[in-house]
Amino acid sequence: MIAVGVLPTSVAAAAPGAAEPEPGDIVLRRGNGLWSAFFAGLNRRDGRFSHVGVVVRDGTELKVAHAEADDNGMNGEVRLTGWRAFEAASRQLIVLRLHDRAAADRVAEAALSLHAARPAFDLDFDLADAAAVYCSELAWRALTIGLGRDPLPEKPLLGGRPVVLIENFLLDIPELRVVGP
């Protein structure tokens, strides 16, 4: 289990001279939706973010692959949203990047494959069921494929079950570094 602690100063703010997103980047945001505060509150050490996605290239356009449902918990799916629209729906946003660009390319490809497979939205938040995904599960699965191993071997428990929280990308995966808001 991951220990609860204080937010390290190295991830407290985005790096100066923030870079534009690239395929394979992991993007954390605090949204404006009805459930944003609830999901941000599930994080135990850094409650700033409520949603996560993976930057991909769709033709010539940068998009974000992310799993979400509407505010009623309906119509959930893995979506591809244009970067600017994803960014515009954010009250707060941070971009995380892998050191290894080849792995980042594999992460982006995996996220696109997950989108193409059209898994249902995972309202049970169950990592054991790969047929349905929630937002942080989608990003974790793409990272697992891209890195060739589980980047978060010790997962926090929620309701007695292992989960991937949004803060885990920021605080617990050393291969990811902050490159911009």
Residue position matching structure tokens 């494959």? 113
Question: What pTM did the predictor assign?
Answer: 0.86
The verdict on residue 89 lying in a domain is yes
The pLDDT value recorded for residue 3 is: 37
The verdict on residue 87 lying in a domain is yes
Farthest CA pair distance, the chain: 43
Task: Tally the domains of the chain.
Answer: 1
C-beta of residue 83 within 8 angstroms of C-beta of residue 63: yes
Pairwise CA distance, residues 147 & 169, whole Å: 14
The pLDDT value recorded for residue 13 is: 38
The pLDDT value recorded for residue 19 is: 66
Judged by DSSP in three states, 34 sits in coil
The verdict on residue 1 lying in a domain is no
The verdict on residue 16 lying in a domain is no
CATH number at residue 92: 3.90.1720.10
The pLDDT value recorded for residue 6 is: 34
Q: Which residue range forms the structural domain that includes residue 124?
A: 21-180
In Å, how far are 2, 31, 52, 62, 153 from 66, measured between CA atoms?
A: 24, 13, 7, 13, 22
Per-residue pLDDT of the chain (181 residues; tens, 9 = 90+): 333 333 333 333 333 345 689 999 999 999 877 778 788 888 889 999 999 999 999 999 999 999 987 665 567 889 999 999 999 999 999 999 999 999 999 999 999 999 999 999 998 899 998 899 999 999 999 999 999 999 999 999 998 999 999 999 999 999 999 998 7
